[in-house]
Structure 1
């Protein structure tokens, strides 16, 4: 570890999937600014070219790989390009994703499969390819998996997305155990930022548009109460988790957005009751509301508390 700067990434190599724009681009820029060489990935070659050029203009090192995330071939290509171009792989950030939002009764098989393919399977294939390389190197590494509040709490119209993001956090916990001996840490990041998706939320839309039009910061109630800021607000956590300073942190789901940094709790039993010789349907009905289910859990992402609304 560089004791004078524990988050210095000089000499490290990172892959960031889905990083031609938005949050992924912010992650790539931050990693490059901290000294890492970065493999940028996107499905649009023009977007990718601009992203790589932007990093180079600020003194960073980056190459681009145009490929859709999901298939094993893409995952192995990303890792091999990192090794061929920069000699090694230290960090894998699985950010690539798409949306196909629809309520349950209108969601098609294709809607479901497409989102799961990119988010869940893409995280699996890319993390697997990275883990193989990191174990071969024998020097540890970092898997940073991108989750979502939808995966933590559910969200209307996002069966596919919420399920995939919940699965990503479960994989982080599992892989943290499996890769501990190899000194590869695995953490999930739960970001909240002003992106194309959050612009569609009516409570946020006006404030985001106003901030972009005037160049002013997002209002305090968004940054603090809702934990929603710019994509750049999220990137510091990615750099930290990629660095030597986070070497003892693994198996965690960490939220960040605006002015808020949070550690998400892992699911645990909230209340427990016992019955001699087990539970019948009748005994559950008799005791549920007064015991185990007396304080049911909430679900869904809470509606924004807009001042003056």
Structure 2
């Protein structure tokens, strides 16, 4: 019986989209908990800045610049992780995009790009990392970032994103079934409204500052029983749980971390 089932010290994790927002929150929480982490992001400058912002130990982090939608990216992640840390125990598929467009103005190119990153990228990365985990014969944990938007739409303009996150939720279940004989667990997290740079930029793109502030205030007052936006560490702690032995008997599950949003 583990003394501390939430202990991930010594584990090796890959986190995609790790330079900002939820991804960076997960990298930081993992490093603070003693894990060794490969931070993957397509923005090299942001990744380097993220590494500089991380606390010193007890874990450590290295980085790789990669676009998850590119076919070779998953194998590159595995190779870099093995080069730095000798193995991989945990994968967090966090990389994702959410450009806004009402369906009636949506281009096929926008829909394709969302699916290339949010589904194709997740598949390619999971396939490569799971292959390595199978070779290691020690099991593993894959954590996919879905969304409350997989369960219901929050606003007009995110149909492509909503559909892609619903696909993530079902892909998680299918992959969990496939990998269970190898003791590789696959679960997802469905965040609600989280304060991140990306979410702030979405509002800036479609609203004036005054409109954005009114939207945020109304959202908290009418939609979120806990009365606050989530922060990246709220999701990082859920990822820590799914990466640790505390969740050993969970696979194919989705953790809703939304401040009570789905109660309303």
Normalising by structure 2, we get a TM-score of: 0.87
Cα distance in 1 for partners of 2:32, 2:221 equals 27
Report the alpha carbon displacement of residue 61 of structure 1 after superposing the two structures with TM.
Answer: 0.5
Are 2:34 and 2:58, in contact at CA under 8 Å, matched by a contact in 1? no
- Residue 173 of structure 2 corresponds to 173
Question: Which is helix-richer, 1 or 2?
Answer: 2
Report the alpha carbon displacement of residue 222 of structure 1 after superposing the two structures with TM.
Answer: 7.4
Mapped pair 1:194 → 2:195 = yes
Cα distance in 1 for partners of 2:215, 2:227 equals 10
Mapped pair 1:33 → 2:32 = yes
- 3-state SS of the aligned residue for 1:169? helix
Provide Cα deviations, 1:119-167, integer angstroms capped at 9, x if missing partner: 1111101111111011000000001000011122134212211111111
Distance 1:135 1:203, change over 3 A: farther
Higher relative contact order (CA 8 A, sep 6+): 2
**Structure 2: any 5+ residue segments left out of the alignment?**
204-211
Report matched runs for 1:126-205 at 5 Å.
Answer: 126-155=125-154, 156-192=156-192, 193-199=194-200, 200=203, 205=216
Mapped pair 1:23 → 2:22 = yes
**Structure 1: any 5+ residue segments left out of the alignment?**
209-218, 261-300
Cα distance in 2 for partners of 1:124, 1:227 equals 33
Cα RMSD (Å): 2.5
Distance 1:220 1:105, change over 3 A: closer
- Residue 67 of structure 1 corresponds to 66
- Residue 4 of structure 1 corresponds to 3
- 3-state SS of the aligned residue for 1:125? helix
Report matched runs for 1:1-309 at 5 Å.
Answer: 3-55=2-54, 57-155=56-154, 156-192=156-192, 193-199=194-200, 200=203, 205=216, 224-225=225-226, 228-258=229-259
- 3-state SS of the aligned residue for 1:72? coil
Q: Which has the higher Rg, Structure 1 or Structure 2?
A: 1
Are 2:9 and 2:59, in contact at CA under 8 Å, matched by a contact in 1? no
- 3-state SS of the aligned residue for 1:153? coil
Structure 1: 4+ residue segments shifted above 6 A: 219-223
